[in-house]
Chains A and B, each alone.
Chain A
Amino acid sequence: DAGVIQSPRHEVTEMGQEVTLRCKPISGHDYLFWYRQTMMRGLELLIYFNNNVPIDDSGMPEDRFSAKMPNASFSTLKIQPSEPRDSAVYFCASSYGGLNTEAFFGQGTRLTVV
């Protein structure tokens, strides 16, 4: 398997534009996690899914952020409208099973909002 695949790797957008980040988890994995990483706040859990269903979205910063998982092989994180403070590296991770298993992370998407 190619691992967790995120796209794009880099995204530069203007304030106010819509941004969509994409994630393809490892085949067969039933958990998917979205994280945001900044120097100030570290690695923050935004939302996670189990069997395509959002379980906990308490980390989603505000209504401008939304995440979907239409099927087991694809998830999106959308920011609309984007703001400069959304600039960060966004990671997606997947695992098979929950707390007794390891999670695999993608390489991340570096988002810059100017």
Chain B
Amino acid sequence: DAKTTQPNSMESNEEEPVHLPCNHSTISGTDYIHWYRQLPSQGPEYVIHGLTSNVNNRMASLAIAEDRKSSTLILHRATLRDAAVYYCILRDNNDMRFGAGTRLTVKP
């Protein structure tokens, strides 16, 4: 029951911004939007999450559409270490289910 849709893959150049999109047209009013990423050979790691307002932290920014049916994870300056699979997840109860994610490739 995939509730989010992400592109399979994206490419970016090093030191350029990256915008990773996520569609969640069936989102409900109580769903939180979470982003995780998984670097090669590691467990997933938390990036950011939000409910309605845009959010910023040291890793990234999360832009949430006004109707909440889509969101965008923004990496302001991609580095080679940002190459990973990025997962957009809706949490409407306390479980946490992952989709296929977007594989980000960063070119030097």
Contact = CB atoms under 8 A, between A and B. Distances in A.
Interface of A: 4, 31, 33, 35, 42-45, 48, 50, 55-56, 91, 93, 98-100, 102-108
Contacts of A100: 32, 49, 51
Q: What 9 A-B pairs come out closest when comparing CB atoms?
A: A105-B43, A98-B94, A102-B46, A99-B91, A43-B98, A99-B32, A105-B44, A45-B97, A91-B43
B102 to A, nearest CB: 13
Contacts, number: 56
A32 B2 CA distance: 22
Contact of A104 (B46, B93, B95): B46
Report whether over half of chain B's contact residues are helix, strand or loop; otherwise say mixed.
loop
B96 A103 contact: yes
Contact of B43 (A42, A44, A106): A106
Interface in B39-59: 42-46, 49, 51
Interface string B80-108: 00000001000111111111110000000
